[in-house]
Chains A and B, each alone.
Chain A
Amino acid sequence: MNLAVIPVAASVSEWSDSFLERLPLVGRDWLTSWLPEPWRWLVNSLLSIAVILSVFGLLFAYVTLAERKILGRIQNRPGPNRTPIPFTKLRFFGLAQPFADGVKSLTKEDVVPRGADHLLHFLAPVVLLAFSILTFAVIPYGRHLVPVELNAGVLYFFAAGAATELAVFMAGWASRNKYSLLAAMRALAQLISYELPLLLAWVPVVLVAGSLSTTEIVAAQAGWQFDIIPHWYVLTPWGAAGFAIFMIAALAESNRSPFDLPEAESELIAGHLTEYSGFKYALFFMAEYFGMIALSGMAITLFLGGWHAPSPYLEFIPSYVWFMGKLSALLLGFIWIRATFPRLRMDQLTRFAWKFLVPLALINLGNAAFWSLSLHWSGPLQILRWLISVLVVVGPFVLLGRKLSAGVAPRVYRYAV
């Protein structure tokens, strides 16, 4: 459970082990140095848990605020901006808003329907939150910051994520509300459908990196071409396709728009959340954002080079800052997508997963196999390698897309120009 010290990757520059890089470790050792040896391990572990919880708790709070602000801007309104710092009149663009929300949800009445299954109704948000926090354990946040080193880290991540589906079902069923149950069925169908492309999207990465351990996958993406182009998997044809599939499936897995059918406000009155209020509702909300953050972190680890800087000249910025920067960029993308796309219909949703994403992901797996087989090609063969790989990505995409959209003419909106 220690913050393990990883053997530094091959491309070590002078900055890679600077003071800033080691700062979290130094701080931890300074805090726990007075403890006797057998206790230090335990306290170190607890400390890493506390740091993860507080950092991501704060991130959650401010992602909600950022989401409301950005959605507001996109929809031409200011968003929340009136919450002052307590006992002062300083507003600071509503920066205290998340804490006001927290206090509100804590003090609200907790309504449980009379016919509800009380135990399950209580357990659902707890289970959901617990499992979404568990997924944070294996993500490498920086060069020296991996909470748990696991041989099968990626598998652990998705195993812990798999249990969240159960919690969504528990919530929907325990509420004793037909809309909630409908939403739970929808959620199950959606989560099962998108679990498959999500899993198939990262298999190529494991294939090429040759490991299921998150730290080794990040280490495999070290280095730069011409000091500018990093060796991230997203910059290969199969990696770009895998990243796109992964992010689409991640959107669906975290019930975000445009895949937010299970909690569609307008048709299912918020689905499995209908009968939840007060703090339990806040827990659901929190778990959803934690899931989104964790999946983004995994996407960064698998495709975007983890904590690696994009260029050796930028390595003086510590690795955890790079990780957080990439994370913020992905979260911004999530928010932007929410503001842009309309919701899918149920049949479109499942058809999209089974007929489009799954075949593409399978083809992509073959593409990655070709990529790792042609690793030693050089000179003009290198160009051929890229050409074949790009063709294998683009060809099926165009053909499948044509076939699926055949007969569905582009819609003409008579009154909208």
Chain B
Amino acid sequence: MTAALVLIAVFTLATAAVALSLRNLIHSALLLSASWFGIAAFYLWAGAEFVAFAQVLVYVGAVSMVILFAVLLTRRSRADTVIGPDSVARAISAVITGMAVFGVLGVAILKTSFTRFSPAGVPALPGGTGVSPVIAAPTATVRDIGIQLMSTHAAALLIIGILLTVALLGAVVLAAQDGSESKQESP
């Protein structure tokens, strides 16, 4: 189990890192899709089937398409998809910031004992060293998710619907050309 997790993590992180450091935008977008696949694999590993498929459907199927469209629509020649190098100072400061954040988060995670998250009935180990007992995986079948969406989270579902509609309209308004002479496809 853990080996699979490490494998997924290494794959996802490696593709994401390479994607964000490449100079060719198309390669970046495609590699990032691979990274999203890695994240979907993590969801599958954790047993969240539905979310994994939704992730692939939304990110690989839709978001990556939108990004590729944006890359192709914002260039004048083929060479434009290869962008010039960014400033080194900026990159170094960004890496330092990122590393600092990672350091803080990592230390916090490693210092925390997660034993008090054990299910009821299993008492937390005094001064636990992060050895959590094996917990039975929670299950979320499609039926559970549907019932929750329609009862507990119904309001959130409605708000998401409104948000998506507004986003769709907003995207069309933003991307549509000012003049009425040309009909532009909205991404």
Q: Which residues of A contact B (CB under 8 A)?
A: 120, 150-152, 155-156, 158-160, 162-163, 165-166, 169-170, 173, 176, 181, 185, 188-189, 191-192, 195, 211-213, 347, 350
Contact = CB atoms under 8 A, between A and B. Distances in A.
Interface string B78-100: 10000000000000000000000
B125 interface: no
B68 A151 contact: no
Which 10 pairs from chain A and chain B are nearest by CB? A162-B61, A159-B56, A155-B53, A159-B53, A159-B57, A212-B142, A152-B50, A152-B142, A163-B60, A156-B53
The SS class assigned to the B binding surface is helix
A211 B57 contact: no
14 contacts: A151-B142, A152-B50, A152-B53, A155-B54, A162-B61, A163-B56, A163-B60, A166-B64, A169-B68, A170-B30, A181-B72, A188-B65, A195-B61, A195-B62
Contact of B26 (A150, A156, A173, A212): A173
A192 B65 contact: yes
B56 A166 contact: no
B56 A162 contact: yes
A76 to B, nearest CB: 40
Contacts of B54: 155, 159
Contact of B61 (A120, A163, A189): A163
The SS class assigned to the A binding surface is helix
Contacts of A347: 183
Given A152-B142, A211-B142, A165 B53 contact: no
B102 interface: no
Contacts of B49: 150-152
Contacts of A213: 142
Given A185-B72, A188-B69, A120 B30 contact: yes
A155 B142 CA distance: 10
Contact of A155 (B27, B57, B64, B69): B57
A313 B33 CA distance: 50
Nearest to A150: B49
B142 A162 contact: no
Interface centre among B60, B68, B142 (most CB of A within 10 A): B142
Contacts of A150: 49
Contacts of B72: 181, 185
Contact of A165 (B26, B27, B61, B78): B61
Nearest to B183: A347
Contacts of A211: 142-143
B185 interface: yes
Contacts of A159: 53-54, 56-57, 60-61
Nearest to A157: B53
A188 B68 contact: yes
Contacts of A176: 78
Contacts of A195: 61-62
A181 B75 CA distance: 13
Contacts of A185: 69, 72
B165 interface: no
Contacts of A152: 49-50, 53, 142
A212 B50 CA distance: 10
A212 B142 CA distance: 7
B65 A165 contact: yes
A151 B50 contact: yes
B57 A166 contact: no
A347 B184 CA distance: 11
Interface in B139-163: 141-143
Given A152-B49, A152-B142, A170-B30, A189 B60 contact: no
Given A151-B141, A159-B53, A160-B56, 7 more contacts: A120-B27, A152-B50, A162-B61, A166-B60, A185-B69, A188-B68, A212-B142
B150 to A, nearest CB: 12
A176 B78 CA distance: 9
A189 B30 CA distance: 18
A166 B33 contact: yes
B25 to A, nearest CB: 11
B57 A158 contact: yes
Nearest to A170: B30
A35 B69 CA distance: 52
Nearest to B144: A151
Contacts of B57: 155, 158-159, 162
B149 to A, nearest CB: 13
Contacts of B141: 151
B185 A350 contact: yes
Interface in B112-164: 141-143
Contacts of B64: 166
A189 B72 CA distance: 12
Contacts of A156: 53
A192 B33 CA distance: 16
Contacts of B68: 169, 188
Contacts of A350: 185
A292 to B, nearest CB: 19
Nearest to A155: B53
B120 to A, nearest CB: 27
B30 A166 contact: yes
A156 B53 CA distance: 6
